Amino acid sequence: MDKDLRIIISGGGTGGHIFPAVSIANAIKAKHPEAKILFVGAEGRMEMQRVPAAGYEIKGLPIKGFDRAHKLKNIEVLCKLWKSLRMARQIVKDFRPQAAVGVGGYASGATLYECARMGIPCLIQEQNSYAGVTNKLLAKRVKKICVAYEGMERFFPAGKIIMTGNPVRQNVLSTPLSVGEARKSFGLAPDRKTILLVGGSLGARTVNRSVMEHLDLVAGTDVQFIWQTGKFYNRQIMDFMKGKELPNLKIMDFISDMGAAYKAADLVISRAGASSISEFQLIGKPVILVPSPNVAEDHQTKNAMALVDREAALCVKDSEAPGTLLRLALGTVADDRKLAHLSENVKKMALRNAAYVIADEVLGLIKD
């Protein structure tokens, strides 16, 4: 293989796109430390901060998504798309990559379109069980499509699909702490059943309401709760909880050591993002999923149902969660057979070492 290895990775917009992109880059670097990797993202989106923080160079495109509510604004969107395609073409000409990787998001559409036009072999990675618009549009132009769910031939040519799974944070897979030690690290009793509630880094309003509206259930049980409110909602919740503090309810705005949090928990309540689901599969953690309704094409519900259909998770609709979620969680965590059944089934869906498997597929494009 050419010593001067050059690869473009494009996409972003959300953490669910950025984390796999950086993981794939790290895996390529682990195999070929000399590799030059250039990221291409969308100006003003979180990848423009997250990628340099991970140690990689990134170029930004002025690309935006179509505004379905305000049709006239789409004239500006089309102008920015045209400009982004020109800029992507120049970036590709200057960098001269031997392969390109797209992880979803608007920037990856422009970048991989131009790469494919220039004959550069391309690979896309689809994190969700319902394919995103950009990846569906690129499918005909790329050589390989890495997926994390079965049945993706509904969206992509079957001959291009490779089941790899999603890259996950390594620190969640292994922690030196025992279950008791993990609970103690959160200031909780080491020998009592524990439920972890997470809504992502910003938080999930519905999950938070499910606790706030049923503090009587929390107060009336021996079960312990680790409640990650998210930074956006934390101040409001801490004000609400003044004078209502409970010894079995640990409230945090953000959890830095998710490995310890997962280890401490008998049951997790979570949104149904692709990266989170991959983590639950790899560690075999029983979970109640509350799909976010505020995502493209309701893909979180489809992610959740892929597990529910295999009896690998429970699911509660966002609209029903404030009324039913906490009771279901308390009933589930008290049922050891149910927990074991969920754990066994979710673990069967795990696909390991995804970042390295995808990196090998990318490097294989260059050899081919």
Burial of 93 (0-12, 13-18, 19+ CB in 10 A): exposed
Residues 107 and 185 in one domain: no
Residues 321 and 182 in one domain: yes
pLDDT of residue 75: 76
Total domain count for the chain? 2
Residues 64 and 193 in one domain: no
pLDDT of residue 18: 86
Q: What is the pLDDT of residues 27-59, one digit of tens each?
A: 999 999 999 999 999 888 888 888 999 899 999
Q: Six-digit token pair at 22?
A: 């950086």
pLDDT of residue 86: 93
Hey, how many other C-beta atoms are within 10 angstroms of the C-beta on 91? 20
- Judged by DSSP in three states, 297 sits in helix
pLDDT of residue 113: 95
| Domain contains 1 | no
The domain containing residue 82 runs over which residues?
6-166+352-367
The enclosing domain of 79 has a CATH number of 3.40.50.2000
Residues 145 and 225 in one domain: no
Residues 193 and 313 in one domain: yes
pLDDT of residue 203: 56
Burial of 148 (0-12, 13-18, 19+ CB in 10 A): buried
**In the chain, alpha helices (H):** 15-31, 47-53, 74-95, 106-117, 133-138, 179-185, 205-212, 215-219, 231-240, 258-264, 274-283, 299-308, 321-333, 336-348, 354-367
pLDDT < 50 positions in the chain: none
Residues 229 and 334 in one domain: yes
pLDDT of residue 13: 75
